[in-house]
Amino acid sequence: MAKKTPALRSVRWFGRDDIYGFIYRSWVKNRGVPQDQFDGRPVIGICNTYSELVPCNSHFRTLAEHVKAGILEAGGFPLEFPVMSLGETLLRPTAMLYRNLASMDVEESIRANPLDGVVLLVGCDKTTPSLLMGAASVDLPTIAVSGGPMLSGKYRGTDIGSGTNTWSMSEDLRAGRITLDEFHEAESCMHRSHGHCMTMGTASTMASMVEALGVGMPGNAAIPAVDARRNVLARMAGRRIVELVKEKVSLSKILTRQAFENAIRVNAAIGGSTNAVIHLIAIAKRIGVKLKLEDWDRLGRGVHTLVNLMPSGKYLMEDMFYAGGLPVVLRELGEAGLLHKDALTVNGRSIWQNNQDARCWNRDVIHTQKKPFKKNTGIAVLRGNLCPDGAIIKPSAATPKLLKHRGRAVVFENIEDFHQRIDDPELDIDERSIMVLKNCGPKGYPGMAEVGNMPLPPKVLKKGITDMVRISDARMSGTAYGTVVLHASPEAAAGGVLALVENGDEIELDVAKRRLELLVSKKELAIRKAKWRAPKPPLERGYWRLYFDHVLQAHEGADLDFLVGRSGPFVPRDNH
> Rule CB under 6 A: which residues touch ligand FES?
56, 88-89, 124-125, 162, 196-197, 201, 203
Name the residue nearer to ligand FES (CB basis): 91 or 212.
91
Closest separation in Å from C-beta 56 to ligand FES? 3
Closest separation in Å from C-beta 196 to ligand FES? 4
Other CB atoms within a 10 A radius of the CB of residue 464 amount to 8
SS (H, E, C) 338-400: CCCCCCECCCCCEHHHHHCCCCCCCCCCECCCCCCCECCCCCEEEECCCCCCCEEECHHHCCH
- Give the list of residues 6+ apart from residue 466 with CB closer than 8 angstroms, or none: 171, 399, 456
Closest separation in Å from C-beta 298 to ligand FES? 29
Label residues 405-429 b or e (16+ Cβ within 10 Å = b).
Answer: bebebbbbebbeebeeebeeeeeeb
* DSSP assignments along 434-461, one per residue: EEEE-S-STTTTTS--S--SPPPPHHHH
Name the residue nearer to ligand FES (CB basis): 278 or 410.
278
Closest separation in Å from C-beta 538 to ligand FES? 24
Closest separation in Å from C-beta 124 to ligand FES? 3
Name the residue nearer to ligand FES (CB basis): 88 or 559.
88
Name the residue nearer to ligand FES (CB basis): 127 or 433.
127
Closest separation in Å from C-beta 105 to ligand FES? 19
Closest separation in Å from C-beta 89 to ligand FES? 5
* DSSP assignments along 185-216, one per residue: HHHHHH--SSSB--SSSHHHHHHHHHHHHTSS
Name the residue nearer to ligand FES (CB basis): 168 or 354.
168
Are 216 and 145 in contact by the 8 Å Cβ rule? The answer is yes
Element (H, E) at 526: helix 522-531
Name the residue nearer to ligand FES (CB basis): 256 or 273.
273
Chain centre to alpha carbon of residue 453: 17
* Longest CA span, the chain: 85
Tell me how far CA of residue 257 lies from CA of 253, 284, 468, in angstroms. Answer: 10, 8, 36
Name the residue nearer to ligand FES (CB basis): 58 or 256.
58
Gyration radius from the chain CA atoms: 24
Beta bridge partners of 423: none
Closest separation in Å from C-beta 457 to ligand FES? 26
Three-state secondary structure call for residue 98: helix
Closest separation in Å from C-beta 198 to ligand FES? 9
Closest separation in Å from C-beta 146 to ligand FES? 10
Tell me how far CA of residue 20 lies from CA of 40, 114, 512, in angstroms. Answer: 16, 13, 64
Q: What is the identity of the amino acid at 64? A: A
Name the residue nearer to ligand FES (CB basis): 119 or 206.
206
Beta bridge partners of 507: 407, 518
Distance CA 116, CA 42 (A): 6
Name the residue nearer to ligand FES (CB basis): 142 or 273.
273
Burial label, 352 (beta-carbon count in 10 A; 0-12, 13-18, 19+):
middle
Distance CA 111, CA 544 (A): 25
Name the residue nearer to ligand FES (CB basis): 88 or 107.
88
Closest separation in Å from C-beta 189 to ligand FES? 16
CA terminus-to-terminus distance, the chain: 37
Name the residue nearer to ligand FES (CB basis): 317 or 516.
317
